[in-house]
């Protein structure tokens, strides 16, 4: 019989992590390895994807407003574990009580035991009760739900559902080292079913560690969402062009452009630690670029005055189109953050427009589904920039991709500079 690792340590670590998120900090990567790491990740991500519901359940079940934050977070994680169906009910209750000791909250054991047992007794009635609240039903902050209702009246519910789902795992075949059809055959031979969702994009039926991907170490393939793989085709790349990836880390879009054409690439990122990851990632694929750690808006710190034929501006944004990959985002963002990102995006556009060659193109990209970060930014930029023309995407492709089972949510806007 296979020995199952105790759940209590994973619940305790997940409670610590989710309590930090509730206090306003980004989700930390667990320090555990192997099976323990997988359990903690599942509890953290699952709890945060269902935070609206588990938070409402605890409020409905508990009359204590003074419970320590880690104890409240432990209850959230335990409720997710009960709903996940991965563990027997009695195991979750027992291990959650034991986790109180690991968190050094021994007096809370009776409280945790009582809340979880009350939930098990009245589970169906409680679920119906809390689902009357939009945050509990849709698992997003109320301001986020209301904004999508206004901006996407025909699509807001599917977008919210996608934001709560497990993200797909998509691969990008390195066209310099492999062909999509041949790599599909390699995946099949390795017992990894997949299907084509783009010229070089392959969607796996189930996510797997990259070590299981045939030829990964040899640079045949990379992990990249299908929606993120649009940039090379939209920029109309050609050999010899000078290309700037202005917010490049960790380097996926930069690599895709280099795979597509023999261009002279400069890759910028404001974070030195993230910028340091770009070159090793390119080297695995047999590619190279000039990598600079610099803020793209501080032109004097990195620009030599030579203009670029193509510029990719993958700007900082709310991340609302990739919330399922980073479920803490939903609960860390505030309504005012969207306008703040839009101001930063406008500053990036104004700076980068100066480095675009006459007749050149700039591709504006976000992983957001909010209009204020996307079309509104480009409309305002066009109104204040006489030489900027809004370009049509090839084949009439849509600028806004909404998240679905095949890809995340992205916005792509093309700007062309008059010669």
pLDDT in tens, 15-27: 999 999 999 999 9
Please check whether residues 230 and 191 belong to one and the same domain. no
367 carries an active-site annotation: yes
Split at pLDDT 50, 70, 90, the class of 2 is very low
Name beta bridge partners: 171: 202, 223
| Residue 86 CB-density burial (10 A; 0-12 exposed, 13-18 middle, 19+ buried) | middle
Residue 43 domain-assigned (yes or no): yes
> How many domains does the structure of the chain reveal?
3
Whether pLDDT at 3 is above 70: no
Please check whether residues 214 and 266 belong to one and the same domain. no
Residue 161 domain-assigned (yes or no): no
Q: List the domain range (segments joined by +) for residue 21.
A: 8-139
Whether pLDDT at 4 is above 60: no
Task: Please report the pLDDT score of residue 65 as a whole number.
Answer: 67
Please check whether residues 276 and 309 belong to one and the same domain. yes
pLDDT in tens, 308-321: 999 999 999 999 99
- Record the pTM: 0.93
Please check whether residues 61 and 208 belong to one and the same domain. no
Distances (CA, A) of 320 to 164, 205, 323, 373: 12, 24, 5, 10
Which of 294, 369, 280, 289 minimizes the C-alpha distance to 329? 369
Task: Please report the pLDDT score of residue 5 as a whole number.
Answer: 62
Range with the poorest average pLDDT among 25-39, 77-91, 149-163, 280-294: 25-39
Please check whether residues 206 and 242 belong to one and the same domain. no
Mean local confidence (pLDDT), 163-183:
96
Please check whether residues 198 and 107 belong to one and the same domain. no
Point out the catalytic residue in the list 44, 170, 231, 367.
Answer: 367
Mean local confidence (pLDDT), 332-355:
97
Phi, psi torsion values for 314, nearest 5 degrees: -90, 85
Please check whether residues 374 and 290 belong to one and the same domain. yes
Angle at 163 between CA 311 and CA 201, to 5 degrees: 50
Please check whether residues 96 and 173 belong to one and the same domain. no
Please check whether residues 56 and 74 belong to one and the same domain. yes
Task: Please report the pLDDT score of residue 32 as a whole number.
Answer: 67
Looking at 161, 196, 224, the residue that finishes a domain is 224
Whether pLDDT at 335 is above 70: yes
Residue 147 domain-assigned (yes or no): no
Please check whether residues 46 and 174 belong to one and the same domain. no
Please check whether residues 37 and 176 belong to one and the same domain. no
């Amino acid at each position: 019989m296979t020995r199952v690792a105790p759940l209590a340590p994973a619940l305790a670590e997940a409670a610590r992590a989710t309590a930090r998120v509730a206090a306003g900090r980004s989700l930390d990567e667990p320090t555990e390895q192997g099976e323990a790491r997988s359990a903690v990740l599942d509890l953290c991500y699952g709890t945060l994807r269902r935070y609206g519901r588990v938070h409402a359940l605890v409020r409905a079940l508990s009359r204590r407003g003074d419970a320590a934050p880690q104890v409240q977070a432990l209850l959230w994680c335990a409720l997710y574990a009960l709903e996940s169906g991965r563990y027997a009910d009695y195991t979750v209750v027992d291990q959650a009580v034991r986790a109180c000791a690991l968190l050094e909250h021994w007096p809370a054991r009776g409280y945790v035991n009582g809340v979880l047992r009350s939930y098990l007794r009245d589970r169906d009635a409680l679920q119906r009760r809390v689902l009357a609240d939009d945050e509990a039903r849709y698992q997003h902050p109320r301001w986020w739900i209301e904004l999508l209702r206004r901006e996407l009246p025909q699509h807001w519910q599917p977008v919210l559902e996608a934001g709560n789902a497990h993200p797909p795992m998509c691969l990008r075949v390195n066209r310099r080292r492999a062909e999509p059809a041949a790599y599909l055959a390699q995946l099949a031979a390795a017992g990894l079913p997949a299907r084509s969702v783009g010229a070089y994009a392959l969607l796996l039926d189930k996510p797997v560690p990259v070590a299981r991907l045939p030829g990964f170490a040899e640079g045949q393939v990379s992990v990249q969402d299908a929606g993120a793989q649009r940039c090379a085709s939209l920029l109309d790349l050609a050999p010899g062009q000078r290309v700037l990836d202005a917010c490049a880390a960790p380097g996926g879009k930069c690599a895709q452009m280099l795979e597509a054409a023999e261009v002279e690439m400069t890759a910028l990122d404001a974070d030195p630690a993230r910028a340091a990851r770009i070159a090793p990632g390119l080297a695995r694929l047999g590619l190279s670029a000039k990598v600079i750690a610099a803020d793209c808006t501080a032109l004097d710190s990195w620009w030599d005055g030579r203009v670029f034929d193509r510029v990719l501006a993958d700007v900082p944004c709310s991340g609302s189109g990739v919330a399922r990959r980073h479920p803490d985002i939903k609960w860390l963002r505030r309504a005012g953050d969207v306008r703040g990102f839009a101001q930063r995006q406008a500053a990036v556009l104004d700076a980068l427009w100066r480095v675009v060659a006459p007749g050149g193109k700039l591709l504006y990209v976000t992983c957001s589904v909010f209009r204020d970060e996307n079309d509104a930014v480009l409309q305002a930029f066009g109104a204040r920039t006489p030489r900027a023309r809004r370009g049509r995407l090839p084949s009439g492709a849509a600028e806004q991709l909404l998240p679905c089972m095949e890809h995340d949510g992205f916005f792509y806007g093309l700007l062309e500079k008059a010669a």
